[in-house]
Structure 1
Amino acid sequence: MINKKWYKYGLIGLVSMVLSACASSVVDERYQAKGQDSRVKYVVIHYTWEDMPNSLRILTEGEVSAHYLISDDEPARVLQLVDETQRAWHAGLSQWKSDVNLNGNSIGIEVVNLGSRQSGQAVPAESSGWQPFTRSQIERLIVLLKDIQARHGIPAENILGHSDIAPQRKVDPGPLFPWQWLAQEGLGRWYDENRVTELMQQYRQTGLPSVLDVQKQLRQIGYMIELTAEMDKQSKNVLRAFQMHYRPSRYDGVLDLETAAILQDLSR
């Protein structure tokens, strides 16, 4: 038979111990340091290269992931798959300026889009057949980006494509992604068209800049490129990524007047 007196005082003691333990573990959050900012420095935009059902399955059941997925419905929906406080596995081997492996300091956004496909396989960026993004997708993306930018204090020039941070192996979000539209919304960089026209005229008279100068300018902007002074494969891939972002009418990795002028303007 249970001793009621022991039970009563034993229970009171147990409750007191639990409350005392809880009280001692409470964190005092009354004070906040002035010297702090968000760990998130970049936003990286991708296309999924899959339809919506497969995109959602891959991004939730596989190793690859992203913080947000924008559907191809009408109207488009925004799905959060990874909390912004957590690391998503979307960037892979990557670099922008001095930052490497951008999974740790970026937010990844996947947009449902098939990219460019041929017989179910990826094709070179020079090929045609790219799927356009819908207006609804871009409108939802702009709202999302402005919210992320405001909360994390992300500079406009740190909103990038996967091909920007991994030009040797990635081409998404591709040449049909409307970077100029985003830049007009304060969500990216763009060039001064009048200045580019002037620079093109100068290059007609003086000739194109040297390969080494082009490599230095690409590096100045943020691209990962080795300074070889040769238009080698890695340089063509980086130049192609630059063209897909800023001059998508032609993205063959070959330097021409317009590419050189845009590059010069953006690297100032």
Structure 2
Amino acid sequence: MRLLCLALLLTLLAGCASGPRIDSRYTSVGQNSRVQYIILHYTSTDLSRSLRLLTEEEVSSHYLIGATPPTIYRLVDENRRAWHAGDSQWQGRTWLNSTSIGIELINQGYYEGPAGRYWQPYAPAQIDALIELLKDIMQRHQLPLGSILGHSDVAPQRKVDPGPLFPWKRLADAGLLPWPDTRAVAQQQALFSQSLPTVAWFQQQLARQGYLVPEHGELDEATRNVLAAFQMKYRQARYDGEPDAETAALLLVLNQQIQN
């Protein structure tokens, strides 16, 4: 009798655990991936400490890519939210952990030396591995160009990663990123050298890119930080946050290309 009752109990528990019966024969065409962006970071530390921080602390990312060797570690499944972006915004969307895939790259970032700030270069093989991963993610989630962002893009008031030595142009050459046409930039820069747009114009163009930026027409610290984030991506030789003719040309050409 006891065995019979136990068997009945186990049968009931198994039925409860299986959940409701769901008919999955029909699929809606009105759908797309929850993932809208891929956000790139550097870890600011070595592999062992990065793995510890990203697996044992509250901060996390979907992927971590080593430097030598460039091993790709999956730390969070893509259908779950990783805690990598924090207070962030792009194209009006906020708190981007819910709509993004986070990728951390082993890189020390920077340190302050006698001659100023020193940035660590990225290992070429590490970027090769990143590009392969990005192509796979972009294809699977059907993401458009412009979906790959730096942490500094989505949080320019508090973050600078992946930094001015990250090779964004390599991603563009791999077909993963829009890039302003060099000839068109030179032509526009010559025009803007004669008459530089207003600060309000710069703010409007940065907002069109997707940045959260003040739009009050004043060159305050917040606006400079956003300008520096844009320059760090598209003009890495100088990212001083100044609204100059070259930055204006880069912004205009890039926005026109995206619009077309």
- Deviation, 1:199, is 0.2
Q: Deviations over 1:111-160 (max 9, x none)?
A: 000011137xxxxxx94311000011100000111111111111120100
SS of the residue 1:109 aligns to: strand
Tell me the distance in 1 between the aligned counterparts of 2:15 and 2:76.
35
Amino acid at match of 1:102: L
Give the match for residue 37 of structure 2: 42
Tell me the distance in 1 between the aligned counterparts of 2:7 and 2:50.
55
Instruction: Summarize the alignment of residues 1-268 of structure 1 with structure 2, pairs less than 5 Å apart.
Output: 25-74=20-69, 76-118=70-112, 127-205=116-194, 207-268=195-256
Residue 158 and residue 12 in structure 1: after superposition, are their counterparts in 2 closer, same or farther (change >3 A)? Answer: closer
Residue 24 and residue 138 in structure 1: after superposition, are their counterparts in 2 closer, same or farther (change >3 A)? Answer: closer
Q: Deviations over 1:48-98 (max 9, x none)?
A: 011111111111111111000001123x00001111111111001110011
Tell me the distance in 2 between the aligned counterparts of 1:25 and 1:191.
53
Tell me the distance in 2 between the aligned counterparts of 1:82 and 1:148.
14
Q: Which stretch shows the higher mean deviation, 14-23 or 60-69? A: 14-23
Between the aligned residues of both structures, percent identity stands at: 48
Alpha carbons 2:111, 2:117 under 8 Å: kept: no
Residue 61 and residue 13 in structure 1: after superposition, are their counterparts in 2 closer, same or farther (change >3 A)? Answer: closer
Q: Provide TM-score, normalisation by structure 1.
A: 0.88
Alpha carbons 1:40, 1:107 under 8 Å: kept: yes
Tell me the distance in 2 between the aligned counterparts of 1:97 and 1:167.
14
- Deviation, 1:21, is 6.0
Residue 17 and residue 79 in structure 1: after superposition, are their counterparts in 2 closer, same or farther (change >3 A)? Answer: closer
- Deviation, 1:29, is 2.1
* Structure 2 runs not aligned, ≥5 long: none
Residue 127 and residue 221 in structure 1: after superposition, are their counterparts in 2 closer, same or farther (change >3 A)? Answer: farther
SS of the residue 1:45 aligns to: strand
RMSD of Structure 2 on Structure 1 (CA): 2.1
Tell me the distance in 1 between the aligned counterparts of 2:96 and 2:9.
49
Residue 8 and residue 208 in structure 1: after superposition, are their counterparts in 2 closer, same or farther (change >3 A)? Answer: closer
- Deviation, 1:16, is 6.8
Alpha carbons 2:67, 2:126 under 8 Å: kept: yes
Residue 265 and residue 17 in structure 1: after superposition, are their counterparts in 2 closer, same or farther (change >3 A)? Answer: same
Find the structure with the greater CA-based Rg.
1
Residue 190 and residue 26 in structure 1: after superposition, are their counterparts in 2 closer, same or farther (change >3 A)? Answer: same
SS of the residue 1:46 aligns to: strand
How many residues of Structure 1 are paired with residues of Structure 2 in the alignment? Answer: 255
Tell me the distance in 2 between the aligned counterparts of 1:166 and 1:23.
43
